[in-house]
Structure formats: C-alpha cells, structure tokens
Amino acid sequence: MIRNETISSILARRSFKGFKSDAIPEEVLETIIEAGKYAPTGMNRQPWHFTVVTSEEGRTLFKSEIEAIMAEAAKNGPGGPPPAQPAGIVVKPESEMRGAPVLIIVSTDKNVPTAFSDGVLAMGNMMNAAASFDVMSGWTHMVVRSLANTPDKKALWGIPEEYEICAAAFFGYGDGQPKDRGPRKEGTVTFK
Ligand SMILES: Cc1cc2nc3c(=O)[nH]c(=O)nc-3n(C[C@H](O)[C@H](O)[C@H](O)COP(=O)(O)O)c2cc1C
C-alpha cells in the first residue's frame, strides 16, 4: 500500500467507546464539519443537516432523551450485562456522550432516494478528517434509531421535519486504547 497524508489519516482512524473531556479546537471542528459537506451526493443534492452538540445544554438534553429511550427499551426485557472489554479499553456511558466533547448527528431528507448513502458518506468524511487531527470518533447506534422519531423531537435537535437521522457519532480525543480490530478480511475483493 502506498502511504500519503490522506491514507495515513484513514488508517489512523479508530473507534473509541471512551473519550477525554479535552475540547476540540473550534477551527478543527469547523474543518471536520466542512469535510463532511464535501462528501459526494446523488445529483449533488446535499440533502443533509448536521446537528452538532457541544454545549452543556445540548449534553443535558441528550442525556435525558437517551435515558428515556433506554427506559422505554428496558420495558421489552432487560438488556444483558455490558460485554467484558480487554484491558486498556475505556468504556464511558453513551448517555454521557462517552465523555466526548462533541456529538454530530447527520440527518437527511427522506424524500431523496440517495439520502441515506449521502449522509453516511458525510459521516465517513468527517471521521477521516477528524483522524487527520488525531480526533477520534465512535458511532452511536441507539441515537440513530430513536432520538428524533417525532416532529417535536426533531425540533429539539434542529432537524428539518422531512429529515431523518441516518448517522451519529461522538468525536474527541480517545481515552485508553482502541480495541484490536485485527487484520482486514480476506476474499472481499473481486477484480473483473
Ligand atoms: C454502522 C455502524 C454501527 C456501529 N455501531 C456501533 C455501536 O453501536 N457501538 C459502538 O461502540 N461502535 C459501533 N460501531 C463501531 C464499530 O464497532 C467499529 O467501526 C469496528 O469495530 C471497527 O473498528 P474501527 O472503527 O476502530 O476500525 C459501528 C460502526 C458502524 C459503521
């Protein structure tokens, strides 16, 4: 594999379940978001909205919304205990944004057929751009499913009414080690 700055950032990106509380410098965060906006989109429609949670008010809202979602989910049966993690892996509660200073939620226009792909590509761009500044990320799945499923909830997050959340991730400086992700799977490429 040839290495250049871009490839090095892609390879350096890792998922974390725990972050240090250190703030991401404003200019770095703006650059990360701008990189998201430069992802390709079907017919260049750019059918996305980025909700960037950084304030104490936003974090508190996130915590209460996620706790309510978890309480609702618990009614369908208790979830199992969290899986044991290898030594060196720091896991912080999702409701506390895993300790990260930033949460970015990408929502996209449900009337646009390519919207889901467009939004996920934007998130990928942001994750890789972040890694170029040593800022790591962690996908949060519960949010993607449930955080904005009514007009009132969308309004809370500034999400336009016709939009749906397609990706959400925490961003910050990783705490502890990333999990060993092993080698890339073999046999996943066909050249014709
Ligand atoms: C669609 C998607 C869903 C994911 N869901 C979660 C999740 O719910 N919780 C979590 O901690 N990580 C989640 N991840 C992160 C993956 O576990 C991680 O990308 C994978 O283990 C590879 O590790 P790496 O990102 O460090 O290369 C998700 C990633 C993707 C792309």
* Residue 130 near residue 15 (C-beta atoms within 8 A): no
Give CA–CA dist 109/165, Å, rounded: 9
- What is the set of domains in the chain, with CATH numbers? 19-70+89-172 (3.40.109.10)
DSSP-derived 3-state class of residue 170:
strand
Determine if ligand 1 sits within 6 Å of the CB of residue 17.
Answer: yes
Q: Going by C-beta distance under 8 Å and a sequence separation of 6 or more, which residues neighbour residue 71?
A: none
* Residue 52 near residue 102 (C-beta atoms within 8 A): yes
Question: pLDDT tens digit string along 85-120?
Answer: 889 999 999 999 999 999 999 999 999 999 999 999
Residue 130, Cβ density class (10 Å: 0-12 exposed, 13-18 middle, ≥19 buried): buried
The predicted pLDDT at position 35 comes to 98
Is residue 128 pLDDT above 80, yes or no?
Answer: yes
Q: From ligand 1's centre to the CA of 123, what distance in Å?
A: 12
Q: Whose CA is nearest to atom 14 of ligand 1?
A: 139
The DSSP output letter for 169 is E
Determine if ligand 1 sits within 6 Å of the CB of residue 184.
Answer: no
Determine if ligand 1 sits within 6 Å of the CB of residue 36.
Answer: no
Question: pLDDT tens digit string along 142-190?
Answer: 888 789 989 999 999 999 999 999 999 999 999 999 999 999 999 999 9
Q: What does the pLDDT average to over 112-131?
A: 98
Is residue 78 pLDDT above 80, yes or no?
Answer: no
Mean pLDDT of the chain: 95
Question: pLDDT tens digit string along 20-47?
Answer: 999 999 999 999 999 999 999 999 999 9
Determine if ligand 1 sits within 6 Å of the CB of residue 141.
Answer: yes
Q: Whose CA is nearest to atom 15 of ligand 1?
A: 139
